[in-house]
Structure 1
């Protein structure tokens, strides 16, 4: 069943290369890079914020919790909004919200203010990323699979450069990264205005019920639950590991830059090869199992007071996270016979709920128990995700046979 009216065009132009894209696709991809920079930009300044604003680890982790919670819930309305005002206006609205709330975060004087403004940032992020993915896939001239690789490449580049820039700006002031995002997203706003043409609205407007209906398809629900559990490991690494590496803003920036570079490389070059050679389920289960092992080693390294062990593991984890991101995103686009934007919104809603709980819980687990406990718990949740995927693999058999695999 066709999930989008643009698929016949994709089939005709399937032989086009990954880099042979319209200017509009490159404009969105550039804005995606800046948007995803916002995710890792704050990593190097977490300890600095905690020290200067006299906040605990769990309080500072609420920067991720508010961001991810609002992003996840807002995903439910992205289709409703974009189908009524159009993709271009939705993208611009999302970017404008990111600009405003990231700047307000830079002007904040308390941790509660920053947490609140990060929530507004998450609203803009939801409107932007859900629409950007479906727009890139719809406007691309190289087919669904290559369009998703381009999207994941933008994600990887943004995540890798974000911490590096965050470390440099954060060494001046913890406020620097917030203002940096505002300025860069403003550039992205201008790119979208002039380079993205008006895209016709769908003939049928989306409703609030559509994402929930999409989750009634077992394949999409399985991928959502797997990502929900996997995010406990992902955001333990993102939001908690900076506290145990014993590095300054520059050092943390370099570590997460290395992590992001490996994530970008594997998402673009390694994931497609695994996708062709093995089934999606086997590939995802393998890389998530390896990620589980890395998290356990990080826990052991923390227990033994070995920051270097944690540093190496964070960088190596980028290999497995990059592969997983591309594989699972591609699978989501093929999992259910619904519009891509609806599938993305439904999946992201479930996924980001895990990203909302896990950063706060990681901080609390370290306060309640021991410094290494968050890594063991994160590894356990990721491995449960592997079990869920294996138990429901029969629902994903059609994904390997779908166009683009």
Structure 2
């Protein structure tokens, strides 16, 4: 059966793929790493929650804009060198972040970290897809597994090191990324440069495709809801770094499990677009649950929100790769440019709304963004016919490889 091939393909990979996946885990750790220490950073640097939220805003703004040049860079210096350049930037700026004496310095260093992250993350997906066994679908699931593992372990690492000192998680990330640098430098063969160099305008031109634009802008609203939860929730839970780390570890485990084990069978059963509707609807319900709940309810709904987030992460990534005829690296760059803007806008807006008006308001806005995203999918569904065909092809292949009864 195809599912067996998929699972086998995911596990049986060249060492170069595992080296890239390890570095990807650490890269995604950097997103959740600061969650358990946000209150500690605010206290240590005498900053407000909205000021500290700029750690996310600077990081994702630079990440989003840098996505536009990742293909241009990698097509000129090759995938391996682009990965190594991204890792080197993360090592340097993560270490510098640990030396920050003010919020402004920390925000600036996180911006540099975002540049390195963009070069690495966008190229890592293309490298894994190119080198992994089992085809593009298995490679994307492996990539999403790395994302989920990074998001789940990042808060634990942040809590363990941050309980000692809020600066320690940044030095810890720099160390782990240095290990990833060595592994990729030694285990990944130099990737050939493409015959045709990617134009710097290619990702923007790719967004002219109706299907890619629909997927990307729906993901923007989804990411606004996603990072509202990730950036603001630590301030309303009022827990120690270990407490926050445990909550977001549970959340990250739900992200990882649903992205790997729930998303593929749901796609085969009800189709990619319907999975997106289901996941966005669930995320809206859980955000409303956070807005209306007390302390225990906030924890429960925060952890459960990892389920629709995992579904969305996998299906959005696959959809962006399949919905247009643009080369995968170009489609990925254009998609990530748009969707990470949601991650850039949400933290500051959410914390401002929570500080100035009501702690529950950011989650109502996040739920509204999910509903808007569902509306975009409905009104522009004719642009997503390619996804329906892809789902049908998967079903045909599965039926063709299933044992006869």
**Same fold, TM exceeding 0.5?**
yes
1:306-317 alignment, distance < 5 Å: 306-317=294-305
Of residues 168, 171, 182, the one that matches 1:176 is: 168
- Residue 305 of structure 2: SS of its match in structure 1? helix
Residues 54 and 14 (structure 1 numbering): CA distance in 2 closer, same or farther, change over 3 Å? closer
**Pairwise CA RMSD of aligned residues?**
1.2
Structure 1 residue aligned with 2:398: none
Bigger Cα displacement from structure 2, 365-374 vs 129-138: 365-374
Residues 16, 141 of structure 1: 8 Å contact kept: no
Q: Give 4+ residue runs of structure 1 displaced > 6 Å after superposition.
A: none
Q: CA deviation at 1:285?
A: 0.6
Query: 1:5-404, aligned counterparts within 5 Å?
Result: 17-301=9-293, 306-402=294-390
Counterpart Cα distance in 2 of 1:186 and 1:87:
18
Distance in 2 separating the partners of 1:223 and 1:193:
34
**TM-score between the two structures when normalised by the length of structure 2:** 0.94
- Find the aligned partners of 1:313 and 1:377 in 2 and give their Cα distance: 16
Is the CA contact 1:83–1:206 (under 8 Å) kept in the aligned structure 2?
yes
Deviation of residue 394 (structure 1)?
1.6
Structure 2 CA distance for aligned equivalents of residues 231 and 121 of structure 1? 20
Unaligned runs of 5+ in 1: 1-12
CA contact (8 A) 1:227 1:385 kept: yes
2: CA distance between counterparts of 1:20 and 1:44? 34
Instruction: Summarize deviations over 1:108-128 as a string: whole Å, max 9, x none.
Output: 010000000000000000000
Q: CA deviation at 1:54?
A: 1.2
Query: What secondary structure does 1:240 align onto?
Result: helix
- DSSP-derived class of the 1:247 partner: coil
Structure 2: gaps spanning 5 or more residues: 396-405
Cα offset, 1:17, TM superposition: 2.2
Shift of 1:15: 9.6
Instruction: With the length of structure 1 as denominator, give the TM-score of the two structures.
Output: 0.94
The structural deviation recorded for 1:367 is 2.3
Kept after mapping to 1: 8 A contact 2:324/2:386: no
Q: CA distance change for structure 1 residues 16 and 168 in 2, over 3 Å: closer, same or farther?
A: closer
